[in-house]
Structure 1
Amino acid sequence: MHRSLTGAPAAAVHHGGDLRGAAQRFGIPRERWLDLSTGINPCPYPVTMPPPDVWQRLPDDDDGLAEIAARHFAAESALPLAGSQAAIRTLPFLLPPGRVAIADLTYGEYAPAFARAGHAVRRFHYRSAPLPPPDAAAPLPFPLDGEDPASLPPDIDYLVVVNPNNPTTHRIPVATLLHWRTALAARGGLLIVDEAFIDATPEASVASACGAPGLLVLRSIGKFFGLAGIRAGFALGPRALLEHLRLELGAWSVGGPARHAVRQALEDAAWHAATRARLSVDSRALRQQLARHGLAARVAPLFAWAPHPDAAGWHARLAGQGIWTRLFDAPATSAGGLPSLRFGLPADGAAAARLDAALRAAART
């Protein structure tokens, strides 16, 4: 087990949702903002209150939640987590030091977590046109610095893939991911697939292969279910690896009220089906709305991503009207060398109308 912690503390990674900072910066009271800066479902699962004793007793780690999750995700085994963030921060220290490939534009916690644990981080990029194509549902090729999509560089020990990628929405086919798992397992490596946004398209998941060596999948309850505040998620993978992670995280990693909420959410198949249908419609409507105002966007079921030369200007003009988006201001190869914006889904017709008016005004400026 690798446990080297050296150097100065790393800077905090920026995420969406910082409404307090937005309110201070733009002088608009917090309650007047429309927050579209995250990819969290704006219509969350309707959790009921837990029984009173859940608030008083310690969480029961053997309450069957792991088994419920394994069945729901079609995985061999599951480990409940205090959000997938717990695994992202801990896992790199459980792996022998090596070389890890991480996309140049993806969820920002992975690279610093692996670097802190002493791994060498290598960046790859998603091949994409400067302005995304209109058919945002189709997967695009995934080169590692130009290699064939089905191959891996021989010097890579670990590969992190967020699928679909946040924020670029790129998706990697199941067959390609399984090919990479086989190649990495043969060299004693690991493929880590973050499926935080996969729930709306479960057929694209590799969770069913998680019993095989060389594969770890992370799933979130915060995105599709809209329950980010309870901080719950799961690791899916070989039992031995999950046991190492469990021992490192310790007991009671997920609180009793959160376990109650997650059990309800995972077992409500009717809500899953209705939500998938709604998200498909809403995400396509958001893409069309952005296109009408000059922002070509790709969509995942929970957000839209728009590279644009003036992404920072759009971000500021919308913020001046109380619309908070997520700005990725560093040009990235995966974004065609451009900065970009991410838009979460409006919760209802009123929110969509407010966004439309703000986009119209921003386009005129």
Structure 2
Amino acid sequence: MDRANHPQHGGNRRYWAERYGFHESEMVDLSTGINPHGWSVPAIPAEVWQRLPESDTDLLKIAADYYGTETLLPVAGSQAAIQTLPRLRTFSRVAVLDPSYSEHMRGWELAGHEVLKIGSDQIESLLPGLDVLVLVNPNNPTGELFSREELLRWHQQLADRGGWLVVDEAFMDATPEHSLCMLDRPRTGLIILRSLGKFFGLAGIRSGFVFATPIFLERMERLLGPWSLSHPAQWATKQVLCDHSWQSEMRDRLVVESGRLSELLRSAGLSPEGGSSLFQWLTTPQAAAITNSLAEQGVLIRLFKESSSIRFGLPGSANEWERLESALSGAELLRDVA
């Protein structure tokens, strides 16, 4: 398989470790934006592994309490929804924020739609000619946060002519007060995606939710088919969404650690231009060279080639903080950036 022909994402630590001559365990992976202090999943009862997943009213009630709405559909992570949504529309003109999560653009292109890459400053002018607008909020990797008021205004303009606003809130759990999930009612043409991968640090269970009108969710459920969310994923999702004390403590902790990361980068001559509680982001003409230099020292970050930008996730231990600081100090080219 030629990796050059596939979209690049964070992770793939084994591949990058081999490329740079490290054992996988020696690499500090800061490339994903996943919470390094993820919720610790307790032992899962044996029967959960042995039974097919069923419709679980407790899961729906717990999720409705956490997200603030009952119009939801459990899915195998937001990726399942991203791949399914384009199949629910006839040919459309779709705008996707750039830079952003590349799978959104890929999904709509593979389904045969016309896809435009746009910057956030182009939304207002291009909106009248669009059928679908896809945003990540807060955006990955820039951290740009769109207000509820402007999102609803854009949605209304699209919905008036049968269009959609798709909002991917994968990084919203650290700032739930900005979510669109807690609107007074579901709205036709507004689709919101959530995932347990980032804030909860549970990317491996592939669990998430789609929020939309009941009619739309019925269409999506029929296309997804049975057993879209595994029984272990359902079980773990119920436990973590009920752990309110962990959620509150983690939100406070991530704010502190994200600030620490920002200061560390600034001290190395790299000034973040955006970010969230889980990552820091900046543009630089030397983005590729910095990424390579850090990887040669066993520290993996996320490179965005087209925008010449880099994203740093949070280190997960004292040793990883030290490794990052050392790698930044050891990168000769950073002296020219400062």
TM-score, reference length from structure 1: 0.87
Q: For residues 148 and 94 of structure 2, what CA distance do their matches in structure 1 show?
A: 20
Contact 1:55 1:257 in 2 (8 A): yes
After TM superposition, give the deviation of residue 169 of structure 1 in Å: 0.9
Q: For residues 299 and 330 of structure 1, what CA distance do their matches in structure 2 show?
A: 18
Name the amino acid aligned to 2:270: L
Contact 1:167 1:305 in 2 (8 A): yes
After TM superposition, give the deviation of residue 12 of structure 1 in Å: 2.5
Where 2:107 maps in the other structure, the secondary structure is: helix
Q: Say which is worse superposed, 55-64 or 164-173, in terms of deviation.
A: 55-64
Once the two structures are superposed, the pairs formed by residues 151-166 of structure 1 within 5 Å of their partners are: 153-166=127-140
After TM superposition, give the deviation of residue 76 of structure 1 in Å: 3.4
Q: For residues 100 and 127 of structure 2, what CA distance do their matches in structure 1 show?
A: 20
Counterpart residue number, 1:329: 305
Specify which of 239, 262, 270 is matched with residue 264 of structure 1.
Answer: 239
Counterpart residue number, 1:187: 161
Q: For residues 6 and 73 of structure 2, what CA distance do their matches in structure 1 show?
A: 26
Counterpart residue number, 1:291: 266
Name the amino acid aligned to 1:143: Q
Specify which of 55, 59, 63 is matched with residue 61 of structure 1.
Answer: 55
The structure where helix makes up a greater share of residues is 2
Counterpart residue number, 1:74: 68
Where 1:257 maps in the other structure, the secondary structure is: helix
Where 1:181 maps in the other structure, the secondary structure is: helix
After TM superposition, give the deviation of residue 364 of structure 1 in Å: 5.0
After TM superposition, give the deviation of residue 182 of structure 1 in Å: 1.2
Where 1:274 maps in the other structure, the secondary structure is: helix
The alignment of Structure 1 onto Structure 2 pairs a total of residues equal to 329
Q: For residues 157 and 208 of structure 1, what CA distance do their matches in structure 2 show?
A: 24
Specify which of 335, 344, 350 is matched with residue 319 of structure 2.
Answer: 350
1:98 counterpart = 2:88: no
Contact 2:11 2:31 in 1 (8 A): yes
Name the amino acid aligned to 2:237: V
Specify which of 151, 169, 194 is matched with residue 219 of structure 1.
Answer: 194
Q: Tell me the percent identity.
A: 45
> Structure 1, residues 196-222: CA drift from partner, whole Å, max 9, x if none?
000000111111236111101000101
After TM superposition, give the deviation of residue 62 of structure 1 in Å: 2.8
> Structure 1, residues 203-246: CA drift from partner, whole Å, max 9, x if none?
11111236111101000101000000111111011111111111
1:143 counterpart = 2:122: yes
Once the two structures are superposed, the pairs formed by residues 1-365 of structure 1 within 5 Å of their partners are: 11-126=5-120, 142-144=121-123, 147=125, 153-209=127-183, 211-297=186-272, 298-331=274-307, 339-362=308-331, 363-364=334-335
CA RMSD of aligned residues (A): 1.5
Where 1:207 maps in the other structure, the secondary structure is: coil
After TM superposition, give the deviation of residue 348 of structure 1 in Å: 2.4
Q: Say which is worse superposed, 47-56 or 189-198, in terms of deviation.
A: 47-56
Name the amino acid aligned to 1:120: E
Contact 1:61 1:251 in 2 (8 A): no
Where 2:85 maps in the other structure, the secondary structure is: helix
> Structure 1, residues 233-287: CA drift from partner, whole Å, max 9, x if none?
1101111111111111111111111111110111111111000000111111101
Q: For residues 53 and 127 of structure 2, what CA distance do their matches in structure 1 show?
A: 44
Name the amino acid aligned to 1:174: R
- Unpaired runs of 5+ residues, structure 2, are none
Name the amino acid aligned to 1:316: N
After TM superposition, give the deviation of residue 302 of structure 1 in Å: 0.6
Where 2:154 maps in the other structure, the secondary structure is: helix
Contact 2:159 2:189 in 1 (8 A): yes
Where 2:281 maps in the other structure, the secondary structure is: strand
Name the amino acid aligned to 1:25: R
Where 2:306 maps in the other structure, the secondary structure is: strand
Contact 2:96 2:135 in 1 (8 A): yes
- Unpaired runs of 5+ residues, structure 1, are 1-9, 127-141, 332-338
Name the amino acid aligned to 2:144: H
**Runs in 1 of length 4+ with deviation above 6 angstroms?**
none
TM-score, reference length from structure 2: 0.94
> Structure 1, residues 147-174: CA drift from partner, whole Å, max 9, x if none?
3xxxx53110100010011111111111
Q: For residues 326 and 75 of structure 1, what CA distance do their matches in structure 2 show?
A: 34
